[in-house]
Amino acid sequence: VASSTGERCKPFLGGYLNETTGVEYHHATSQTESTQPSTSQRSTRYHRDAQTCVARTRHVQTTREQGTSMPRHDLAELTKDGDRALTPRPYFSSADRDALVTEKVIVIQSHTRGMLARIRCRHLRAERYKLEKQRQCEEEEARIEDELMRRREVERRLHPRTYDDFITLYSEVEAWRLNETKRIKECEDMGKEEKHAALRELLSKEVKLLQTVDRLKIHARKYNRNTKINKKLEAMARPKVWTQSDGDSTIVHTPSTTRAKEFMDLYRALRLTTLTTNERLDLLLHVKWAVMEFPCKLTSDIAELLDREADLINRGRGSSSMKGLRERIANLFFDFINTPEFNPEAQPFHRMPKMDANGYPYAHVVA
């Protein structure tokens, strides 16, 4: 290596000193000129190829050394901690293995079959419980249906409402009369006079039964009429239901439905029998105001009857003496409600207007 004897001050970059000779040896870099390339000659170090490291993985499995030390006379006493004495077992042949496998297979099969049998038993118990429950429900429903039918039949005979109910009553009365007549005529212990007396008594009982049926028919007619009137009034006062494009419904109370509801409340109040004197007079006044908005023959008749009842109440007459008058007022007021000229909601329930004796509609408004 060529040495340089220049006057430059060499930087101390490391070295060592020979203690024997005292010679100081410097680092080789301080003995030579710098050979680093200039900035323009340096390679690009921030490139991807310069910054990417290719790594490889290698697995190395070292051998494990082990051994057994036996006691010898020239060795120290060996520790026996953790030592185990191994005793050889009897030889296990392939036939023994097959026998053991067969035995274990039988045990596994027995447990498996027991499990399947228990599962099937549980399933059968569940099916039996389900069928028993269904049978009990059917019996209970049949019993309830029979009880309801029995009550319905009893109710039909105690409080008949329809035409079929009265046909059933008349049929049973006729069957009872025929059976009693046959029994009386076939009785050998009774004489001729006694049979005639028994037949007369039977006829009297039949007449009483028929009279009872006729009274029930009158009550049924009145009940059915009141039910029909209430349903019609509720239908008139029911608000309009409009279906929108999105499927929702809108309930609308129109002026006509509101008026129909007011008329329905007044009519039901007229049918009440538990009002006091002041409440009845106030009700009569409200009904008179409602009907006098439409001057005609019907409303004038209603107003006249209302004034007559108010006068009788002021005179101290009892409710029983005014029963017919109140019934007539209620009927005329229902005719007023049922007239489309006064209640537009009554129009769907009419086919043609009612006529009076002069050929005009009964609700003809006076000009």
* Residue 292 structure tokens: 């006098």
pLDDT for res 252: 84
Angle of helix 277-291 relative to helix 323-337, nearest 10 degrees, comes to 30
Tell me: the pLDDT tens digits for 275-320? 888 888 898 889 888 888 888 888 888 889 989 988 888 888 888 8
**What does the pLDDT look like over 2-49, one tens digit per residue?**
555 556 666 667 777 888 888 887 776 666 666 666 666 666 666 666
**Which string of DSSP letters, residue by residue, matches 149-190?**
HHHHHHHHHHS--SHHHHHHHHHHHHHHHHHHHHHHHH-SSS
Mean pLDDT comparison of 104-113, 268-277, 355-364, highest-scoring range: 104-113
Condensed to tens digits (0 to 9), the pLDDT of residues 235-264 reads 888 888 888 888 788 888 888 888 888 889
Q: What integer pLDDT is reported at residue 366 of this predicted model?
A: 45
Q: Which residues contact 25 (CB under 8 A, 6 or more apart)?
A: 15, 16, 17, 18
The average pLDDT across 186-196 equals: 82
% of the chain surpassing 70 pLDDT:
80
Can you tell me whether residue 361 is helix, strand or coil? strand
Strand, helix or coil for residue 296: strand
For the chain, which residues make up each domain, given as ranges? 159-235, 254-349
Residue in 37, 34, 15 with CA at minimum distance from that of residue 25: 15
pLDDT of residue 359: 55
Q: What is the pLDDT of residue 350?
A: 75
364 pLDDT more than 50:
no
Instruction: State whether residue 243 is helix, strand or coil.
Output: strand
Question: What confidence score (pLDDT) does residue 367 get?
Answer: 38
- pLDDT (average), residues 134-142: 95
Q: How far is Cα 331 from Cα 270, in angstroms, rounded to an integer?
A: 10
DSSP helix/strand/coil, 292: coil
Half-sphere exposure of 271 (CA within 13 A, CB side): 15
Please report the pLDDT score of residue 251 as a whole number.
Answer: 85
- Higher pLDDT, residue 357 or 318: 318
Residue 348 in this model has a pLDDT that exceeds 70 = yes
Contact between residue 322 and residue 309 where contact means Cβ atoms under 8 Å apart? yes
Cα distance between residue 210 and residue 204, in whole Å: 10
- Position 145 scores a pLDDT of 93
Closest CA to 242 of 232, 257, 252: 252
pTM of the model: 0.53
d(CA 362, CA 339): 9
Q: For residue 154, what pLDDT band results from cuts at 50, 70 and 90?
A: confident
CA distance 307 to 314: 11
Average pLDDT, the chain: 82
Amino acid occupying residue 276: T
Give the per-residue pLDDT at 365.
46
Which of 213, 221, 215, 217 lies closest to 177, judged by CA?
213
Q: What is the pLDDT of residue 134?
A: 95
φ/ψ bin of 81: left (φ > 0), alpha (ψ from -120 to 50), beta (otherwise): beta
How far is 318 from 79, CA to CA, in rounded Å? 129
Amino acid at 356: D
